Copies of this chain bind each other. A is one copy, B any other.
């Protein structure tokens, strides 16, 4: 299951992505765009090697995995894609078309079906986390939170 239950308008997201890149003085080349499309069309995060396979299927063109890693680096820099550190997989940002600035992301990873829902982390959670570790002298870098569990759909389904 795609984590968002809303149907995606890929064309619109790509259009917005173009704008984001142009604004940043970066170029969303055709291949970078196609990699993003593969991720947008996927129901779950994909590894770089899975992207190679799907790219081949979708676009009838081979893409070296080395290039995929570089394109992912680019897309991550532009915050169009995120990397899940706990699984080494990549997924498109769920908030590309949102106007607001990108917040610290929080990922809800379903351990049964593999779907991932990205939500912005609530400010008060960050504040609580910081308060709870204050005594350790540790300073948080706001990267991302990856939480594992069972998604809504998988809960109502039989095992």
Contacts and interface: CB of A to CB of B under 8 A. Distances in A.
Given A85-B85, A128-B124, A155-B139, A133 B145 contact: no
Contacts of A149: 138-141
B148 A133 contact: no
Interface string A122-137: 1011001100110011
A147 B149 CA distance: 18
A138 B3 CA distance: 11
Given A85-B86, A128-B128, 6 more contacts: A108-B138, A117-B138, A119-B136, A122-B132, A136-B152, A138-B150
The 9 closest A-B pairs by CB, nearest first: A137-B152, A85-B86, A140-B149, A108-B138, A141-B149, A139-B150, A122-B132, A143-B148, A139-B149
